[in-house]
A and B are shown apart, each in its own frame.
Chain A
Amino acid sequence: MNILTLKNINKQIKSKKILNDITLNIPKGSIVALIGPSGSGKTTLLRCINRLIEIDNGSIIYNNQNISNIHPITLRKEIGFVHQDSVMLPGTVYDNISYGLQLQNIVNDELIKSSMKHAGIDEKYLTQDASTLSGGEKKRVALARAIALKPTILLLDEPTSGVDPKNIKTVEQNIISFTKTLVLTVLWVTHNIEQAKRVATHIANLKDGYIQNFSKTNHFVWEGAY
């Protein structure tokens, strides 16, 4: 069953076509790696799904509902987005992870702690000023911040960029693990083909705004990809 369906999506920014007739069916519970060179439209696609920008035409169907008919705030709680620059908001790690919950007045310390555990952050960081964290720690806080909202889909834009190379596989394992535990569907943007092979159940290859190839990882034709 598909939780997300992209139908003939087009997006142009400043007279440049970024996305061309993108069609994708994302199965529920899958981890779809979006691979492709810089400027191929990967991040733009995630931003369209999160409704941070509007598509020019086509449709994005989430749970049988066109996302243009869902209030953006409601949609963003269900489709979480971890941006490539994991910007820390002013305050502590706790303030960051509880940010989305505070907006809804549903702060729950147990949920915050379990989100931290899923993202692989020790509770000792809770009171630390978030701006003082390392790049990798910020990534984990950004992951915890997103999953605390209990989304059904998670959009991850290069979630291991800035992570210490020796910790990349741990972060990957954390994401795979919480995807299963929390029954999430993940769209994972990466430049790293080896990473895509390690983490994804499906792979979509995006080039010059077109989907070149989309299939299960074990059926994916690597020749000429990316």
Chain B
Amino acid sequence: MTGIPYTWDEGLIILASVFVLLIIVIIISVIKKIGIGKEFTLAIFKGGGQLFLVALFLTLLFNYELWYLLIWILIGTMILVSGYTSAKRAGKMPKAYLITTPSILTGATLALSVLALSRAMPMQPQFIIPLSGMAFGNAMAICSISLERLIREIILNRTSIETMLSLGANSKQALSEISRITIKASLIPNIDSLKTLGFIFIPGAMAGLLIAGTDPLVAAEYQIIVYLMIIGGGLTTSMLVHYFSRKHIFTNAEQLQPWIEN
């Protein structure tokens, strides 16, 4: 047996029964005044609605002869949305999307290119779409952590940075310790996930392959390949965030930019 053992109609009945359980939980949260009832309900409908829209889009895509055109539109949207979302973490830094967008694009593209060239990602929409989502999603998360932490550390350590500049350091030297700490911190969620892979949770790609009936060993091997590439892309993203940020943090005269001063 492979795949999910019921039809779409039967699935709706199962979904309805799951909803009954959720409604009970929401009622309890309202009675207990936990204060998440409204947000929780909205999140369920929003998340569920989004997933159904994606499903409709994929149904269209899988049956469309020019599917690769739609994929380009989808990836383009991923690039813009992830760059813009991540840039919002930059606080007062002006034009932060000029850092986030190329960093995420390069990191995710690198990961996807290696997967494609190694044939781990066949050029078919059912592979390209989920793996692109994973690569861009992870690069965006790492980019956001990296940028937010970098700016926080700079503001906290302004005097220390200016002390180094006064002692003849250039911007790269003055930022080296903070960069090291921040890049490491941005990868902690990925490294922790890697450490507990299969132990605390079975990740998405492997879970999907297992449900589809793939041999567990092959599924695990595939998941590791995907995960390592995605972490590699994330590390690239994090390093690029630091590289591109330098011009936004320092002036050409090796001074902190006025937006940090103020």
Contact = CB atoms under 8 A, between A and B. Distances in A.
Given A52-B255, A72-B255, A85-B159, A14 B262 contact: yes
B254 interface: yes
Contact of B170 (A51, A73, A89): A73
Given A13-B261, A53-B261, A54-B255, A149 B164 contact: no
B64 to A, nearest CB: 55
Contacts of A100: 167-169
Interface residues of A, number: 26
B163 interface: yes
B173 interface: yes
B168 A50 contact: no
A58 to B, nearest CB: 16
Interface in A177-191: none
B113 interface: no
Contacts of B254: 72-73
A103 B166 CA distance: 12
B153 interface: no
Contact of B167 (A53, A54, A76, A85): A76
B155 to A, nearest CB: 14
A104 interface: yes
Contacts of B126: none
B165 interface: yes
Nearest to B256: A52
B177 interface: yes
Contact of A145 (B165, B167, B262): B167
B168 A87 contact: no
B148 interface: no
A99 B261 contact: no
Contacts of B256: 52
A83 B163 contact: yes
Given A51-B255, A53-B261, A73-B254, A81 B166 contact: yes
A35 interface: no
Contacts of A52: 162, 165-166, 255-256
A206 interface: no
A8 B82 CA distance: 48
B178 to A, nearest CB: 11
Given A83-B159, A89-B163, A149 B255 contact: no
B253 A51 contact: yes
A145 B166 CA distance: 11
Contacts of A50: 166
A80 interface: yes
A142 B165 CA distance: 14
19 contacts: A14-B262, A51-B255, A52-B162, A52-B166, A53-B261, A72-B254, A73-B169, A76-B166, A76-B168, A81-B166, A83-B159, A83-B162, A83-B166, A90-B177, A99-B169, A100-B167, A100-B168, A104-B168, A149-B168
Given A73-B169, A146-B166, 6 more contacts: A52-B162, A52-B165, A52-B256, A54-B253, A87-B163, A89-B160
Interface of A: 13-14, 50-54, 72-73, 76-77, 80-81, 83, 85, 87, 89-90, 99-100, 103-104, 142, 145-146, 149
